[in-house]
Amino acid sequence: METSGERAGNTVSFWERTAKKFQSAPLKENLNADVCVVGAGIAGVTMAYLLARENRQVVLIDDGPLGGGMTGRTTAQFVTLVDDGYDKIEKLLGEECARLCAESQIAAIDRVEAIVNAEKIDCDFERVDGYLFLPPGGSVTDLKRELDAIHCAGLPDVERVDRVPIGKFNTDGVLRIPRQAQFHPLKYLNVLAQRIVDLGGRIFTGTRVVKVEDGERVKIETSDGHTIIAKAAVVATNCPINDRLVIHSKQAPYATYVVGLRVSHETEHSILWDTAMTAEDEKQKLGPIPYHYIRFARDEQGDVLIVGGEDHKSGQASDCEQRFAKLERWTREHFPFVGEVTDRWSGQVMEPVDGVAYIGRNPGEKNVYVVTGDSGNGMTHGTIAGMLIVDLIAGRENPWTKLYDPARKTLKPAVIADYIAENTNVAAQLRDYVTPGDEPSADKIKNGEGAILRDGVKKIAAYRDEKGALHKFSAVCPHLKCIVRWDSCEKTWDCPCHGSRFDALGRVLNGPAITDLQPLDAANQA
Ligand SMILES: Cc1cc2nc3c(=O)[nH]c(=O)nc-3n(C[C@H](O)[C@H](O)[C@H](O)COP(=O)(O)OP(=O)(O)OC[C@H]3O[C@@H](n4cnc5c(N)ncnc54)[C@H](O)[C@@H]3O)c2cc1C
Ligand code: FES
């Protein structure tokens, strides 16, 4: 097993298969800096790059390599439409917020394009048309309402068209959204990392941060006992590691799945996504929609069609193989020209309760900033975070400050209903303390598999490695004590509450937890 530090799961994404990740030495001393950025995905790397460009002494830290989190497992589509739709944002936050939101999404794509051109980054960046389409039975009235809201938000070029230009779709409604974009995320990060270093920034990988303490000088502590003192710190760990509950109660983690299939002939690239939502999702008010998102990417042998979807609340489903199979079936049905499966992987997105990301000053703190709640728009939100937080640190005004403020409260009944539904769902996970284990005993666990066992009143996370040795941990998540669950595709322990994930050997992969699952008994064998 080499998930920890390398990848956020057992599967390998298209990007991980086709590019290496930037690594450097771990931090081995105490440091001073202007800004310490924790987390080197698109948000942290963009931030560190923009800070270095402003001649700030920046230190960028990650406990894995660069892009080892969700940026290495994304599908990297840049879209100006937000996941929850402008109609919802307008209703919840008002017309001006919807307008600012659209403005920031456009500016993010433009900024990435400008960086790619300025730094001459060979990362397969291309502008493409986007198509949003209704699934069978989808509401044309809703689509029309969304189109009105899109226009009102400041995207006049979005138009209704007759059909989706590729694939076999029987749909009553399609929108064409011009000038969207896509790229290879790891190739982009690798060049930015080199530029950060060229500009005098320092990057330390394989270094886990365990504490970020606000003050006139922020104190950042690593698990090896080293300290960085900085004028400001940015926590860009996707799921904040410095917040116990405030932000985690306002967002929810969802797992999402991706398959890549070989394309036999080249097609003009475009990106597509649908608005599929089941009546059950609507009824349960569990936030996002199990929609499909689609793009092309190119490897040495030609094009691969990449299709994502089949979302569910993290740690709350144990049928990953079926989800991959369903996605593959759906892809073959709609794109009959695809051949063999080249890639499959999954990851996690954080869904904010009011549809807008949390980017800015950490609630109640002065010099610590966070970026999270990206939903499926992490490429633009990560870039917006770089632009916005760099302004905040410099004391410059930024028109998007209020919109993305992590401390904002939205008191609309629909937001409160979602907030209650998500937090009731979290509370319901505590029933795991009284349910039986997945298996009656460790003997039943096959090599390379894991299961939750019951030992009296305790729940144990047990993993049998490929050689047959059993590794046992407390199944209690070190964040707020929910019981983790086994993901047999990624070979991870996933917390069903706020998004913490651990590799098979209990090592924390992403926050809010900052410590590993507690190993049980010294030998840790049975
Ligand atoms: C399958 C999938 C498809 C997606 N598709 C799209 C898409 O098409 N378009 C789009 O816009 N968005 C998409 N998203 C969302 C997007 O990929 C993410 O929102 C985005 O990559 C998050 O970037 P980030 O920099 O915030 O976090 P990450 O990339 O997760 O980076 C966080 C980093 O923090 C590090 N870290 C964590 N804890 C610590 C610690 N204690 N100490 C030090 N370092 C730490 C991690 O190692 C990691 O490298 C998708 C997501 C998934 C999973
Ligand atoms: S992530 Fe909060 S309890 Fe596990």
CB 43 near ligand 1, within 6 Å = yes
Encoded tokens for 249: 């109660």
CA gap 501, 517 in Å, rounded: 10
What percentage of the chain reaches a pLDDT higher than 90?
Answer: 76
The rounded Å distance from CA 52 to ligand 1 centre is 21
Question: Which pLDDT score, from 0 to 100, does residue 290 have?
Answer: 61
pLDDT digits (tens, 9 = 90+) for 478-499: 998 899 999 999 999 999 989 9
Q: Closest Cα to atom 3, ligand 2: which residue?
A: 480
Inter-CA distances, 296 with 159, 311, 378, 404, 454, Å: 22, 20, 18, 31, 45
Give phi and psi for 309, each to the nearest 5.
Answer: 155, -155
Place of tokens 């996002």: 288
The rounded Å distance from CA 181 to ligand 1 centre is 18
Mutate to test the pocket of ligand 1, among 59, 374, 377 (most ligand atoms within 8 A of CB): 374
In this predicted model, which residue has the larger pLDDT, 244 or 465?
Answer: 465
pLDDT digits (tens, 9 = 90+) for 153-210: 999 999 999 999 999 998 999 999 999 999 999 999 999 999 999 999 999 999 999 9
The rounded Å distance from CA 382 to ligand 1 centre is 9
Helix axes of 140-153 and 86-93: crossing angle, nearest 10 degrees: 70
Taking a C-beta distance cutoff of 8 angstroms, is the pair 166, 133 a contact? no
Beta-bridge partners for 466: none
- Is the pLDDT reported for residue 2 higher than 80? no
Give phi and psi for 383, each to the nearest 5.
Answer: -75, -40
CB 489 near ligand 1, within 6 Å = no
Question: Which pLDDT score, from 0 to 100, does residue 526 have?
Answer: 40
Taking a C-beta distance cutoff of 8 angstroms, is the pair 175, 151 a contact? no
Confidence of residue 20 (pLDDT cuts 50, 70, 90): very high
**DSSP letters for 249-314:** GGEEEEEEEEEEEEESS----EEEEE----HHHHHHT-SS----EEEEEEETTEEEEEEEEEEEET
Question: Which pLDDT score, from 0 to 100, does residue 247 have?
Answer: 82
Say if strands 302-313 and 251-263 run parallel, antiparallel, or are unpaired.
antiparallel
Taking a C-beta distance cutoff of 8 angstroms, is the pair 259, 307 a contact? yes
Mutate to test the pocket of ligand 2, among 477, 509, 515, 518 (most ligand atoms within 8 A of CB): 477
In ligand 2, the atom with minimum distance to the C-alpha of 500 is 1
The rounded Å distance from CA 525 to ligand 1 centre is 34
Which amino acid belongs to residue 89? I
pLDDT digits (tens, 9 = 90+) for 61-120: 999 999 999 999 999 999 999 988 999 999 989 999 999 999 999 999 999 999 999 999
CA gap 38, 223 in Å, rounded: 13
Question: Which pLDDT score, from 0 to 100, does residue 200 have?
Answer: 97
CB 38 near ligand 1, within 6 Å = yes
The rounded Å distance from CA 359 to ligand 1 centre is 14
Question: Which pLDDT score, from 0 to 100, does residue 518 have?
Answer: 95
pLDDT digits (tens, 9 = 90+) for 293-340: 999 999 999 999 999 999 888 888 888 999 999 999 999 999 999 999
Q: Report the chain's mean pLDDT, rounded to a whole number.
A: 91
In ligand 2, the atom with minimum distance to the C-alpha of 499 is 1
CB 511 near ligand 1, within 6 Å = yes
Handedness of CA 263, 266, 271, 272 (dihedral sign): negative
CA gap 203, 26 in Å, rounded: 8
The rounded Å distance from CA 242 to ligand 2 centre is 13
pLDDT digits (tens, 9 = 90+) for 418-471: 767 777 777 777 777 767 777 778 899 999 999 999 888 889 999 999 999 999
- Is the pLDDT reported for residue 1 higher than 60? no
Residues 6+ apart with CB under 8 A from 377: 79, 82, 83, 105, 357
The rounded Å distance from CA 442 to ligand 2 centre is 25
Inter-CA distances, 272 with 59, 85, 327, Å: 37, 15, 15
Question: Which pLDDT score, from 0 to 100, does residue 524 have?
Answer: 45
Question: Which pLDDT score, from 0 to 100, does residue 289 have?
Answer: 52
CB 390 near ligand 1, within 6 Å = no
The rounded Å distance from CA 42 to ligand 1 centre is 7
Q: Closest Cα to atom 16, ligand 1: which residue?
A: 378
DSSP class of 72: G
Neighbours of 95 (CB within 10 A): 14
SS (H, E, C) 383-425: HHHHHHHHHHHHCCCCCCHHHHCCCCCCCCHHHHHHHHHHHHH
CB 460 near ligand 1, within 6 Å = no
Give phi and psi for 508, each to the nearest 5.
Answer: -65, 135
- Is the pLDDT reported for residue 509 higher than 60? yes
Mutate to test the pocket of ligand 2, among 498, 501, 514, 517 (most ligand atoms within 8 A of CB): 498
CB 315 near ligand 1, within 6 Å = no
The rounded Å distance from CA 73 to ligand 1 centre is 8
In ligand 2, the atom with minimum distance to the C-alpha of 482 is 3
Encoded tokens for 19: 């590019």
Question: Which pLDDT score, from 0 to 100, does residue 288 have?
Answer: 44
Taking a C-beta distance cutoff of 8 angstroms, is the pair 273, 293 a contact? yes
- Is the pLDDT reported for residue 363 higher than 70? yes
The rounded Å distance from CA 423 to ligand 2 centre is 12
Closest-CA residue to 57 (of 225, 238, 197):
197
Name residues contacting ligand 2 (CB within 6 A). Answer: 477, 479-482, 495, 497-500, 512-513
Question: Which pLDDT score, from 0 to 100, does residue 411 have?
Answer: 67
CB 347 near ligand 1, within 6 Å = yes
The rounded Å distance from CA 483 to ligand 2 centre is 8
pTM of the model: 0.94
